[in-house]
Structure 1
Amino acid sequence: MPRSHDSDIPPLPISRNADALEDPALLRRLLRAKDRMDAASHEAWPVRRLAEVSGVSEAHFARSFKRAFGLPPHRYLLTRRIEQAVTLLRDTDLGITDIAFATGWESLGTFGRIFRDITGMSPSEMRVQARANQAELDRVPACVLKAAQRPDLTIAVLEKRRRGASDTVEPSTREES
């Protein structure tokens, strides 16, 4: 079946009762946006652009994407970028700066900080560990390995960092004026 161009897709009517998991047309549109992110995770994918690919409003897209895939679009994109960076660290001799820019990060500092927050180690530590374990991992199918190494981003990166810091004060739940 030939793929149609985005301009050929009429926008979906928005129904407040439609669930992304029950509406096959919406799910196909969300999968199209997800596939675009997978194919070009190094590109910027603001919600506005993803909503245009899907033919729905930005708010509807963001809610539906999270409901369908369990993560907001930005966290999903972070997951893909970190997975790709780990693969490049393991399988190539590219420098860490080159890997950061090749996987879509605009700053080496941001890449390093978020990489450490998500994986628990720096990119250079990850490279050493991944190469040390390479012999055992060669026997594992790539699809199984990728699923096992997928970063857990069910909570926000900043929340992970806050929870991991032992000397931080818990945020107040009461409002002060």
Structure 2
Amino acid sequence: MKHLFLSGSINVGKSTIIQNIVNNMEIDKEEIGGFYTKAYIRNGKVAGFYMEPINYKLKTPDIYERLIGYTPDGKMWLGMDSTFESFGTSILDCCLINDYKLIIMDELGFFENNAICFQEKVHEVLSSNNRIIGCIKTLSTPFMDSIRKRKDVEEIAVTRKNRDSIAHELSEKFVL
């Protein structure tokens, strides 16, 4: 298994499983690059999501320049193509330059539907010698489907039923 992507419903534990797999690996934390997607909380509610880089070697922009999606009214969600095209692409360039042993992409979804440079950079990283572990939304979009169709990608569905056992199973399969 070269690249592993977890899919499943919101809050099923995909990011926690990634953390558990990484913690079970014998890898120096400095040998990991990539990003996590974090919730941006405003007035006690999720108002958006932003990219949190891992071992990013350049200056990290403020949180507003890292927003990948937000909701202006609490109902409709808007993607921030410019964040993916600039900051997201820069994070992935950093991963390629630093030749990390493991790259985390948590998570890929629909916000980047129109971020073509970012999508191309994701495929460039997937085609490199690096190993990737990440999360991918379950929905079907041309970008998500292009990742799923790759022969070097395995997608594992996480459910409430299997989430407690799957981290250990995947730790044994996903070895550097």
Q: TM-score, normalised by structure 2?
A: 0.25
Q: More helix by proportion, 1 or 2?
A: 1
